[in-house]
């Protein structure tokens, strides 16, 4: 990456230490001659990232998810600094951000292209998701009756609490909690995971990246809720299917030069026992 000339900050003031960290990083950027703009508004204004070389998000993964659509539109790399809990997307800790910010300003980071899901629920109802699209009955107490088609061919029909369509990035989010698979971020696939299906078999299905998916609501007098990244809801049209595909746009996610996906997963999910057990076992 080229050195940064204009850097936008998106700061979640409700996260402990985020405003103070933002001020320190903005001072470092200004001292390096980088033009800075900052906002605590959430979601950000539509054109806020236009003309920026990068966006530094200080908060949690939810804060970062709020800038995805704008960052994808303007092709702006996102530097996520974690002041939340798990932080799968905001991969820089506060200490790492402070210690490495000079390098980041010089463009010394790698950029990972993360796929997005394009979802439509009818004319004029369209949105993008980085993690997942959730389809469920609008009434929480009801099972959804959903019929899924891939490229015009029937996959199956579900009676379930809902369906999760996840990107590889989102495989560690709701998909994982629902029993879905972990997927490497570079894999070009879409995962479909049912939530509590009324059946003895419960398996995720992995589709290729260029699949065109349609989900039809077959429930009588039942409305669907379609949630994008757990943050934004689309209105479901009873006469139109929910259509999902991989977007032509992508999110550019900034990472350390030594970033290791599985190291992050091991740390965040607290995988342990393998190496320690082998080390302590007799030869």
The stretches of the chain forming alpha helices (DSSP H) are: 18-31, 61-65, 68-74, 94-105, 174-177, 261-268, 274-280
Longest dimension (CA), the chain: 65
- Whether residue 62 contacts residue 228, with contact meaning beta carbons closer than 8 Å, is answered with no
Q: 33: which strand partners?
A: none
List the one residue out of 256, 78, 88 whose CA is nearest residue 185: 88
- Whether residue 92 contacts residue 25, with contact meaning beta carbons closer than 8 Å, is answered with no
- Give the dihedral sign, CA 250/254/258/261: negative
Tokens representing 267 are 């740390």
Catalytic residue among 27, 45, 61, 118: 61
- Give the dihedral sign, CA 156/165/191/141: negative
CA distance 63 to 83: 10
CA distance 26 to 42: 19
CA distance 106 to 100: 10
Mapping DSSP to helix (H, G, I), strand (E, B) and coil, where does residue 264 land? helix
The reply to whether 229 belongs to the active site is: no
Catalytic residues: 61
């Amino acid at each position: 990456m080229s050195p940064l000339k204009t850097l936008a900050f998106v700061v979640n003031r409700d996260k402990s230490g985020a405003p103070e960290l933002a001020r320190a990083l903005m001072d470092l950027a200004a001292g390096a001659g980088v033009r800075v703009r900052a906002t605590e508004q959430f979601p950000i204004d539509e054109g806020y990232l236009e003309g920026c070389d990068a966006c530094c998000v200080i908060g949690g993964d939810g804060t970062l998810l709020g800038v995805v659509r704008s960052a994808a539109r303007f092709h702006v790399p996102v530097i996520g600094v974690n002041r939340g809990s798990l932080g799968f997307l905001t991969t820089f800790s506060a200490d790492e951000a402070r210690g490495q910010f000079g390098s980041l300003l010089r463009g010394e980071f790698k950029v990972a292209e993360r796929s997005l899901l394009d979802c439509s629920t009818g004319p004029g109802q369209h949105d993008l998701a980085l993690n997942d699209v959730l389809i469920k009955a609008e009434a929480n107490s009801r099972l959804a009756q959903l019929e899924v088609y891939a490229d015009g061919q029937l996959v199956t029909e579900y009676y379930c609490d809902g369906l999760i369509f996840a990107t590889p990035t989102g495989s560690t989010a709701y998909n994982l909690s629902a029993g879905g698979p972990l997927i490497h971020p570079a894999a070009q696939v879409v995962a479909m995971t049912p939530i509590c299906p009324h059946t003895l078999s419960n398996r995720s299905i992995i589709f290729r990246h260029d699949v065109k998916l349609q989900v039809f609501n077959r429930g009588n007098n039942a409305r669907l809720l379609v949630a994008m990244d757990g943050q934004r809801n689309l209105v479901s049209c009873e006469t139109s299917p929910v259509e999902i595909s991989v977007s032509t746009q992508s999110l550019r996610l900034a990472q350390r030069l030594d970033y290791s996906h599985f190291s992050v997963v091991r740390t965040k999910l607290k995988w342990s026992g393998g190496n320690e057990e082998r080390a302590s076992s007799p030869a």
